[in-house]
Amino acid sequence: MKVSAEVCPLCDGTGWKSVSQNGDRRVTRCDCRLKARAQSLLEAARIPKRYEHCELSSFTTDFPGAHPSLAMAHIAVSRFAQEYDPGDGTGLLLIGKIGTGKTHLGVGILKELILTRGIGCLFYDYRELLKEIQNSYNASVQTTELDVLRPVFDAEVLFLDELGAVKPSEWVWDTVSLILNTRYNNNRTTIITTNFEDQPAGGVNNSMSAARSAVREETLGDRIGERMRSRLHEMCRIIKLDGLDFRQKFRSANFR
């Protein structure tokens, strides 16, 4: 038995509904079409299944008892989503150790912009993006470098997760430079997360001893180069998240 498709009672399937404004009747897009567009944009955003549940509203419950900086970061990120201006182009750089909730907040922004504003967004893990670009050089693959990069360049809001997670090389630096500079020049908003401290390449300061320098942790400047680190400061507001790795914390708690 063939079941007919459900027809929206507000617009009778036309996609337009009648509304009254100041005594006048006019038509506007029906909620059913807006929801359908939002769902289409959500699917096109490439948000991984692991993070599909992430919402800005659930951040405080998913990270209970967190460091105060996480609460401040949540407030700042929520305000960014609420006040988002497509013509501004200013993005966010979320800096923090593994497990502090950076990706949760980034995905929360994307979902908020998609579902409430109908804004096109795109999620990319930094490592996967570079791998896809490298794979496009394989003659047996029917994909060009431009095929991979075009949506990255054009997305109104790009979320680039784990910046700096790939060992730096000239090719990596050139590719990061191309992506960030293209989006900067086109006034596109970019949201970025990184586990590396926002410090210059080669160390925090020139007075660092040789012994300390030898064992120091790598910085964002080391991983993406000083030129691109400077560009990020022009493109993004910086938000720092402190605290413990919550995944490790809860994993340890389960074994007590």
Average pLDDT over residues 92-108: 95
Say yes or no to pLDDT of 77 above 70.
Answer: yes
pLDDT at position 215: 60
* 149-202 pLDDT per residue, tens: 999 999 999 999 999 999 999 999 999 999 999 999 999 999 999 999 999 998
- Token output for 233: 């400061």
In a domain, 74, yes or no: yes
Say yes or no to pLDDT of 117 above 50.
Answer: yes
pLDDT at position 33: 64
In a domain, 118, yes or no: yes
pLDDT at position 61: 73
Q: Which band of pLDDT confidence, cut at 50, 70 and 90, is reported for residue 242? A: confident
pLDDT at position 255: 28
pLDDT at position 29: 55
Q: What is the CATH number of the domain that holds 200?
A: 3.40.50.300
How far is residue 85's CA from residue 81's CA, in Å, rounded to a whole number? Answer: 9
CA distances from 13 to 8, 10, 17, 41, 115 (A): 5, 8, 10, 21, 21
How far is residue 183's CA from residue 155's CA, in Å, rounded to a whole number? Answer: 9
Q: How many CB atoms lie within 10 A of CB 197?
A: 18
Say yes or no to pLDDT of 139 above 70.
Answer: yes
- Token output for 84: 């988002």
In a domain, 20, yes or no: no
* 21-74 pLDDT per residue, tens: 666 776 565 666 667 788 899 999 999 999 999 999 998 777 666 678 888 999
How far is residue 148's CA from residue 146's CA, in Å, rounded to a whole number? Answer: 5
Strands (E), 81-235: 91-96, 121-125, 157-161, 189-194
In a domain, 80, yes or no: yes
In a domain, 228, yes or no: yes
* 37-49 pLDDT per residue, tens: 888 999 999 999 9
In a domain, 14, yes or no: no
- The total number of residues written for the chain in this structure: 256
Average pLDDT over residues 5-18: 66
* 186-197 pLDDT per residue, tens: 999 999 999 999
For residue 142, give its domain range: 34-254
Provide the whole-model pTM. 0.80
pLDDT at position 35: 74
Q: Which of 121-130, 134-143, 244-253 bottoms out in mean pLDDT, i.e. has the lowest? A: 244-253
What's the maximum distance between 2 C-alpha atoms anywhere in the chain?
Answer: 80
Average pLDDT over residues 12-16: 63
In a domain, 8, yes or no: no
Structurally, how many domains does the chain consist of?
A: 1
In a domain, 2, yes or no: no
